[in-house]
Homo-oligomer: A and B are copies of this chain.
Amino acid sequence: MSVQIRPTAAATSSSRLAVADCDIHPAVRAETDLDPWLSQRWRDHRTTFNAGRRIGMQAGPAYPKSQPNASRRDAQPPEGGRQGSSLSFMQIQHLDPNNVKLGILNPLGSGQGMSNPDLSAAICHATNEWQLAEWTGKDRRLKASVVVPYEDAAASAAEIRLWAGHPDFVQVLVLSRTAEPLGNRRYWPIYEAAAEANLPVAVHAFGYGGSPITSTGWPSHYIEEMTGHAQSSQAGLTSLVIEGVFERFPDLRMIMVEAGFAWAPSLMWRLDKAWKTLRAETPHLKLSPSEYIRRQVWWTTQPMEEPDPREHLLDTIGWIGWDRLLFATDYPHWDFDDPAHVLPLKISEAQRQQFLIGNAQAVYGMVA
């Protein structure tokens, strides 16, 4: 798809259903964009150590070092700069023509998971200030994520409490590939602070905590890495359930982002079966794994699985629940799902409305 065809879409936008896009990736134009919110120490640090924003993407032996450019070529702003770095172009290319009424910002490469915990916290905080100044303050359709330095849970909790109650922040953002499984107690202060602030925690695929993406070492191809995010997220969700995060924080809402959702039923079936036999190991769990997941987990749809025939998606969604799916595009990345074509299934208008915007308004506590 190209920029040129977009005006056609824009012309019909008024007749299109309103959409909540739960995964938009804004980018800085330059490393120095965050400087207004970075102390002199960190500005100097960047110069001295080349520890600029992109160094937050720590590389393992294979990936993400050699990953392809993840962004659509046609998303390059005409005024220059990286894809996703221009609000005005995002409005023209995506928000207006696709009738996006609510757009959730998930800034990646924002210092999360960096080895230096102070640097990680500084860049995350600056990113949060930058979201307000450059995005949500300029377009009321957009809402921000509290980006947290998740390997330092105390610093993360402090960042969450700093923004709690601010109307522009609607969720907490962590990545899936943490240093230890997501349910481990070292991360609980994040969940505690999020639950207190009544903010859902979004677990976005990617990140890098030191372990290879498979349990048998590093794959050779990026396709394997991409596919592996689903397994990584399965392991993270398993950990959250079995460690008792949902039991301990019964009001916590978790959103699994950009790792697919069609694996959810088989994971729940397997977890329930193992738990039935082995529940003596986890007396802290009062419900079955699938009961916790159905109670507290939502799923974004991008990348949407594409079975052939597509009707299999209906079975899958039926099991997960129509109230649990959140539409997302991943703009400006290359696996963008177009809201006009994402769900070519025979479903009711009510289901489509729920899927495209209603569920997002519910999980983010917004008035329809």
Contacts and interface: CB of A to CB of B under 8 A. Distances in A.
Contact of A181 (B209, B217, B222, B232): B217
B235 A221 contact: no
A312 interface: yes
B281 A184 contact: no
Interface stretch (A32-40, A93-101, A257-265): A257-265
Interface string A268-281: 01111111011001
Interface in A222-250: 222-224, 226-228, 230-232, 234-236, 238-239, 242-243
Contacts of A212: 211, 215
B211 A232 contact: no
A266 interface: yes
A259 B11 CA distance: 50
A274 B223 contact: yes
A215 B214 contact: yes
Interface stretch (A77-85, A303-311, A323-331): A303-311
A260 B265 contact: no
Nearest to A307: B269
Contact of A224 (B211, B221, B222, B238): B238
A187 to B, nearest CB: 10
B334 A319 contact: no
A219 B180 CA distance: 8
Interface residues of A, number: 65
A91 interface: no
B227 A216 contact: no
Nearest to A182: B216
Given A214-B232, A315-B312, A224 B262 contact: no
Contact of A262 (B227, B230, B266, B334): B266
A220 interface: yes
Given A215-B214, A216-B179, A228-B235, A260 B271 contact: no
Given A235-B228, A263-B266, A273-B306, A217 B209 contact: yes
A334 B277 contact: yes
B274 A227 contact: yes
A273 B234 CA distance: 19
Most buried by B among A239, A260, A335: A239
A68 interface: yes
Most buried by B among A215, A220, A236: A215
Contacts of A228: 215, 235, 238
Given A216-B209, A224-B242, A282-B223, A262 B269 contact: yes
A51 interface: no
A143 interface: no
A66 to B, nearest CB: 10
A316 interface: yes
Given A230-B267, A273-B303, 6 more contacts: A219-B239, A219-B242, A223-B278, A226-B278, A274-B303, A312-B315
13 contacts: A177-B216, A211-B211, A216-B235, A220-B242, A221-B243, A221-B281, A223-B242, A223-B282, A224-B235, A228-B235, A231-B235, A262-B270, A263-B266
